[in-house]
């Protein structure tokens, strides 16, 4: 989380659906990504595949080759 502290944009890959997770394959689910962004006081969160806006309202889904203006 230290790398994302007060970042303009946190980009997180979420391999799991809401509520899923595994110690054998440590990827994020949307809730975990949103909590990291919230605790880091990030301005925006971009996640792949899943929506976490109920926890962190400045979340948006990304697509391959997407370009963002910050």
The dihedral built from the CA positions of residue 59, 10, 13 and 33, taken in this order, carries a sign that is negative
Q: How high is the pLDDT of residue 15? A: 78
* pTM reported for the whole predicted model: 0.69
Task: Give counts: helices (H), strands (E), the chain.
Answer: 1, 3
Per-residue pLDDT of 24-44, as tens digits, reads: 877 888 899 999 999 999 999
Domains of the chain, residue spans: 2-61
Q: How confident is the model at residue 51 (pLDDT cuts 50, 70, 90)?
A: low
């Amino acid at each position: 989380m230290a790398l994302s502290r007060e970042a303009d944009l946190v980009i997180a890959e979420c391999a799991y659906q809401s509520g899923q997770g595994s110690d054998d394959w440590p990827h994020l689910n949307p809730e975990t990504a949103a909590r990291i962004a919230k605790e880091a006081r990030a301005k925006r969160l971009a996640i792949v595949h899943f929506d976490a806006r109920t926890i962190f309202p400045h979340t948006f889904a990304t697509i391959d080759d997407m370009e963002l203006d910050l």
